[in-house]
Amino acid sequence: MPVRNFPRIIHMFIEILKVKSVILINYLKKVGFCMKRGPNESIGCTVTECKYHAHDEAYCTLDKIQVAKHVPEATNIESTDCASFQNQAR
């Protein structure tokens, strides 16, 4: 392989790595992988057993959460939960 093609090959290799990293990041987001973030002050949380809890502050570290209900028609706070909860022991 001629030396003159070396910069072109390096450029192609870098472009392949960029595509692969985007694919990997999208997959990790899809399966719920969460990189530790700082507290999200838009989501208050006192559930210290959750792996997404900002342990130093009463906030969640997720960008968004999913709230779910346990009954066909939620009429009180006990009818709903944070469906994004994951036990930190896992």
Say if residue 43's pLDDT is above 80. yes
Same domain, yes or no, for 72 and 28? no
Task: Give the confidence band of 37 by pLDDT, cuts at 50, 70, 90.
Answer: confident
- Mean pLDDT score, 36-61: 91
DSSP letter at 87 equals B
Same domain, yes or no, for 11 and 43? no
Tens-digit pLDDT profile for residues 4-19: 777 888 888 888 888 8
**Into how many domains does the chain fold?**
2
Q: What is the pLDDT of residue 78?
A: 92
Same domain, yes or no, for 29 and 40? no
Residue 3 belongs to domain spanning: 1-33
Percent over 70 (pLDDT), the chain: 87
Same domain, yes or no, for 43 and 29? no
Same domain, yes or no, for 61 and 29? no
Same domain, yes or no, for 42 and 85? yes
Q: What is the pLDDT of residue 10?
A: 84
